[in-house]
Structure 1
Amino acid sequence: MTTTHDSRNDRNDRNDETYDVVVAGGGPVGLFLAGELRLGGANVLVVERLAEVDVTIKAGGINTAGAVALYRRGMLPELAEAWERNRWRLQAFLGERETGAEAERAAPTPPKFAGHFAGIMMRGDLFDGSDPAFADVGPADRVGLGVPQAELERILGARAERLGVEVRRGVELTGFDADEDGVLIHLGTGGPVRAGWLVGCDGGRSTVRKLAGIGFPGTEPEITGYQAVVEMSGGERLGKGWTTTDVGTYVNGPFPGRILTVEFDGPPADRTAPVTADELQAALRRVSGVPEVTVHEVHSSTRFTDNARQASTYRQGRVLLAGDAAHVHSPFGGQGLNLGLGDAMNLGWKLAAVTQGRAPESLLDSYTAERHPVGAWVLDWTRAQIAVMRPDRHARALRRVVTDLAMTTAGTTYLVKQISGVRQRYDLPGEHPSTGGSAPDLEFSDGTRLGECLHGGRAVLFDLADDPKLRARAEEYGDRMDVVTAVCPGRPELTGLLVRPDGFVAWAADGDDGRGDELADALARWFVTA
């Protein structure tokens, strides 16, 4: 971490702008985190080096865990509208319906695919949505929503603006001086700004992480991948969707001109160089074995590898990391963006509580403790997919076995549970099986759902047995949490539930079990009395 011996004395003589938190990086993770911080009362500045939203083709959707997190903040209608706009475009390419207004009005609800593992597509008709892991997900889509990353960034940017977040685009963090009192942040444009805390959401090559001296161990890449939107001809022989060949893997679709290639020839010599039409054409011809396919124009493109690394800690003093700044891996399974949204959901309420004096700094220790194991699991999950995608005979034999398993209901449901994020949980104290897991989206007798009670980003104590003693336990916490008294016909045995602002269960009880010390311990662990 960079420091200067006289930084605190200098601050007394300057009119530096001051914020509770500065977030470096205005992508989806940084913007979502900024919104979470504002919900908790923090004064937030986001600095983003790009002047406009990055429209480069990247993630094509969010999984169940990501959709549930955004649903809990009241954003599901916006996401559903974006998904509908995107869905018809995909349908037309896949040839599943006629084009035109009349056909669109008559079109049935399109079939879903359940996801993919190492390019092995999992069929929606084999996915068992009644599995207990999905039973309480609620109205958030159980498999995911096809919302492109750029569109998600715009939605989150508008939300941040509504909440009062200051976002400066075209401004890059160039350095910082951190000590026990705060952080002085140097920007490429304008003077320095002061903050109590700095969060790096600035991508896999994170300047914040590097300057903080946080280690980034992992495994070296063995692939070069391209993803692009192009104008091309001669592609009639290309398969639609994911295709595995003797050389590697390529993808054609799911909308016209979108291509992806993967070759196991090591990492590219220069990941930052512009991707040319000739480069994409050569890769596509090599992998597909279709020599007549010709790329005429490149609209959007990116290179990627399977470089898999994770920060040794997500917090060092007053500097924290989230999203790709904390972990990088291959895009297979589509988990990177969702993992970052989970980081933001976990960190936002905790850091806001610390900045507002509602919690001690030690609360932030739980951020790395809870999120680091989830990140490590995702990295291994992506490494496993690389092993199945290799073109050697042993890997291809393994791929046939995995494909057979994926073509069963049990196999598809298991794989979807993993890549959807619904099995993520934290190791929290408590005997009830719900403790540490994502809260079930209970439906109450008045028609409301649990997730709707979390829109404000506050903890909620649910009294499901009309127990005044239970409600009285929350009184000493003042405005730290909401109390909801409701009846849940679908879970009559459940009498109480304490849900953290991130939607994870801190305490639960059936009947009178755990109503004493266990609830008191959970309240004291996560919330300071008023």
Structure 2
Amino acid sequence: MYDVVIVGAGPVGLFLACELGLAGCSVLVLEREPEPRSPWKVKPLGMRGLSAASVEAFYRRGMLHPLLTASGIDEDPGANLDADEPSPPRAAGHFAGMVLDPAKIDVAALPFRLPSPALQGVMASLEAVETVLSERASKLGVEVRRGVTVSAIAQDDETVVAHAGEHEYAARWLVGCDGGRSAVRGAAGFAFVGTEPQFTGYAALVTIADPEKLSPGFNLTPTGMYVQTPTQGHIGMMDFDGGAFDRSQQPTREHLQAVLRRVSGTDVTLSDVQLASSFTDRAMQTTTYRQGRVLLAGDAAHIHSPLGGQGLNTGIGDAMNLGWKLAATVHGYAPDGLLDTYTRERHPIGASVLDWTRAQTAAMRSDPLGQAVQGVIRDLLGTRDGTTYLFGKISGSSIRYDLGSEQPLVGRNAPDLRLEDGTRLGDLMQDGRGVALDFSTDRRLHGSAMGWESRIRYAAGPARNDLGAGAVLVRPDGVVVWAGDRDPDREAFERAAGHWFGSPATTEFQERA
């Protein structure tokens, strides 16, 4: 029997598998597709924008360089790390097709931002992302079985069993990472609620007989939106038809041409279609991310339109949050209620993303109400404050969990704090443990931290920029859970460590230490 069975070998399932494998769990991943390669995963249709928060997750697990290499990106993520302030982003994304100007972002206003190899977003193909994660998962002993379709789930107080044809796969826990049409979600009885679609979207690789009739980039029109990427023939369209297109049918050349002519206001001609698919802005979310021994992550827990590229990034955030908590539960040292914090912390993030995409849909509508909203957004994007606010949402830098503390660092993704000897927080997080950084010179926290050595990595010394803190305690997912002042309180640190990491190590270890 496995510790965890994960259903779905996409980026979210594989990232979660790596987190669990890193923590020493036995993991089986079941994937219904028989082969990992697909034309939908390679450039251009497979390109996805990874936010700075997602890139940071790869950086903190030592996978940033492999990701850049697999994506064909020839750059040094460590450049400009000696600067006093982080560099502004090269690109800032868009809101409802209205592109943010990076020059208008007030980097100093972003919360607790320090120079890091992972402050920029990255364009990567799904194939590159899955290749890097698959290789890491294999090295960690994760087993992946393809061509397995899960049809039913049964669970009791001790185990959960996934049924696939004549085969049964038993584990202590099961996580559905099997996408928007999740079989796990339905089989486990999760309630799935939300709003119905306003538009049908299309992504297609086509041959355009007269491409000069279309404008490059995002184009909002009185009847919808179309996107023409620098890759010739890659077209995206959004048609406000109330989601009426029958998505069980493959879009024909004639249908795609009619939609493109309608939303572009031109008589453009499509001479050929190589690949095409459709989607909607249906926005749904499960009411909880856990039912007994079954959990959900990524699109299995929340679906929405792909506007702004939030789906993959939200799913990676789910996996990063869940991985260490589920591993602690498997190994028996999780504090009471730790696994329940997964839903408590990530469900509001998912709900916020759904509203974010709904707002973009509202701003794209061709009626007077939508046009009025679009005008307000354009005015906001003309200001530094408005652009900075929207970038904070897109990049993930504005996320803060409510952990019951008014200390401004607590609940936020930790900045890449750097000790004077050159050690960076990101370097210390690659083994998946939490990190205690003690900036005091007399090692005030050393004795207490050693009691959690198997779960918390301790590092001490002056910092290049300590952001006014005397010490910080960082969870394995990079979230600050405690921060002390210039004279750190050992008892407060111990309470925080015990709250998040369980009881100290064994008495035998403490005596040896």
What TM-score do the two structures reach when normalised by structure 2? 0.91
Alignment of 1:525 onto 2:502: no
Partner Cα distance (1:226, 1:359) in 2: 45
Q: CA deviation at 1:200?
A: 0.4
Alignment of 1:33 onto 2:16: yes
Check conservation: 1:232, 1:294, Cα contact below 8 A: yes
Aligned to 2:279: 304
Aligned to 1:96: none
Aligned to 1:135: 113
Aligned to 1:185: 162
Aligned pair partner of 1:219 in 180, 187, 195? 195
Aligned pair partner of 1:243 in 204, 219, 222? 219
Check conservation: 1:62, 1:147, Cα contact below 8 A: yes
Aligned to 1:253: 229
Q: CA deviation at 1:85?
A: 4.3
Check conservation: 2:68, 2:74, Cα contact below 8 A: no
Check conservation: 1:183, 1:198, Cα contact below 8 A: yes
Alignment of 1:168 onto 2:145: yes
Aligned AA (2:241): D
Equivalence map 1:426-505=2 (5 Å):
426-491=401-466, 493-505=468-480
Change (3 A) 1:134 1:526: closer
Aligned to 2:296: 321
Q: CA RMSD in A?
A: 1.9
Equivalence map 1:34-433=2 (5 Å):
34-53=17-36, 54-56=38-40, 57-58=45-46, 60-85=48-73, 112-133=90-111, 135-136=113-114, 138-142=116-120, 144-188=121-165, 191-298=167-274, 300-360=275-335, 362-433=337-408
Partner Cα distance (1:261, 1:492) in 2: 45
Partner Cα distance (2:6, 2:481) in 1: 27
Aligned to 1:7: none
What secondary structure sits across from 1:147 in the alignment?
strand
Aligned AA (1:267): G
Partner Cα distance (1:497, 1:488) in 2: 12
What secondary structure sits across from 1:157 in the alignment?
helix
Q: CA deviation at 1:138?
A: 1.5
Change (3 A) 1:295 1:507: farther
Q: Answer with 369-378 or 117-126: which moved more.
A: 117-126
Q: CA deviation at 1:517?
A: 4.1
Aligned AA (2:283): A
Check conservation: 1:226, 1:302, Cα contact below 8 A: yes
Check conservation: 1:112, 1:123, Cα contact below 8 A: no
Partner Cα distance (2:160, 2:441) in 1: 47
What secondary structure sits across from 1:274 in the alignment?
coil
Change (3 A) 1:429 1:467: farther
Q: CA deviation at 1:172?
A: 1.3
Q: CA deviation at 1:50?
A: 0.7
Check conservation: 1:72, 1:452, Cα contact below 8 A: yes
Change (3 A) 1:137 1:492: closer
Partner Cα distance (1:34, 1:461) in 2: 25
Change (3 A) 1:59 1:212: farther
Q: CA deviation at 1:218?
A: 0.4
What secondary structure sits across from 2:231 in the alignment?
coil
Q: 1:325-359, CA deviations, whole angstroms, 9 ceiling, x for partnerless residues?
A: 10011111111100000000000001011111222
Q: 1:20-54, CA deviations, whole angstroms, 9 ceiling, x for partnerless residues?
A: 00000000000000000111111000000012234
What secondary structure sits across from 2:68 in the alignment?
helix
Partner Cα distance (2:112, 2:212) in 1: 39
Q: Answer with 310-319 or 516-525: which moved more.
A: 516-525
Partner Cα distance (1:27, 1:59) in 2: 14
Partner Cα distance (2:323, 2:220) in 1: 41
Partner Cα distance (1:526, 1:254) in 2: 47
What is the number of equivalent residue pairs in this alignment?
Answer: 486
Change (3 A) 1:254 1:520: same
What TM-score do the two structures reach when normalised by structure 1? 0.88
Q: Answer with 19-28 or 224-233: which moved more.
A: 224-233
Q: Answer with 398-407 or 305-314: which moved more.
A: 398-407
Partner Cα distance (1:216, 1:295) in 2: 40
Q: Which runs of 5+ in 1 are unaligned?
A: 1-17, 88-110
Check conservation: 1:25, 1:47, Cα contact below 8 A: yes
Q: 1:479-525, CA deviations, whole angstroms, 9 ceiling, x for partnerless residues?
A: 12211113202227322111100000111112125x14432221111
What secondary structure sits across from 1:427 in the alignment?
coil
Aligned AA (2:495): D
Partner Cα distance (1:512, 1:485) in 2: 14
Q: 1:157-194, CA deviations, whole angstroms, 9 ceiling, x for partnerless residues?
A: 12211211101111111112101011122123x62121
Partner Cα distance (1:115, 1:44) in 2: 36
Aligned to 1:5: none
Alignment of 1:24 onto 2:7: yes
Q: Which runs of 5+ in 2 are unaligned?
A: 76-88, 506-513
Q: State percent identity of aligned pairs.
A: 48
Check conservation: 2:299, 2:311, Cα contact below 8 A: yes
